[in-house]
Amino acid sequence: MKFQHAKKIAVLFATILFFSLEFSSCYYDVDEQLYPKPTDVGINCDTTNATYSGKVAPMIQTSCISCHSAVANQGSVTLETYNDVLTYAQNGKLLGTINHAAGHNPMPLGGAKLSDCVIANVSAWINAGSPNN
């Protein structure tokens, strides 16, 4: 009978030890470091090479061209070519609309605001002088 009691205590002790080690191993982890938001600027967002062809044109194709092509031309805005986009980059409307800034029509219309990283790349391209690269 003593052996069965000692065995139960040993199993209980091993179980407690296992769970305490299991849960204490994550004690110092920070949730934001473990699960960063990929859309946060600075986390997985590289703006050092924000080019028209690499960052801006793909964003235009994905988020804008369905409404702002020569065929659709909604709001009398066409963004098919570099020169079209350059006009809106230089007058502040491109960044204002995708950033949902006051006094601008938030774009994409009826859709969610673009990610902070996408906006940061467009902003970096504009701040670099909006080159055709």
Nearest to 85 by CA among 111, 59, 110: 59
Residue 29's pLDDT is 52
CA–CA dist 52, 41 (Å, integer) = 19
Q: Quickly state the pLDDT bin for 7 (edges 50, 70, 90).
A: confident
HEC sequence for 27-61: CCCCHHHHCCCCCCCCCCCCCCCCCHHHHHHHHHH
User: pLDDT tens digit string along 11-62?
Assistant: 777 777 666 656 555 445 555 454 455 444 555 788 988 999 999 999 999 9
Q: Which amino acid is at 88?
A: Y
What is the band of 6 on the pLDDT scale with cuts at 50, 70, 90?
A: confident
CA distance 126 to 44: 20
Interval 58-101: pLDDT, tens: 999 999 999 999 998 899 999 999 999 999 999 999 999 999 99
pLDDT at 1: 58
Are residues 119 and 89 in contact, defined by beta-carbon separation less than 8 angstroms? no
Q: State residue 22's pLDDT score.
A: 61
User: Who has greater pLDDT, 6 or 124?
Assistant: 124
Q: What is the pLDDT of residue 131?
A: 96
Q: Look up the pTM and report it.
A: 0.67
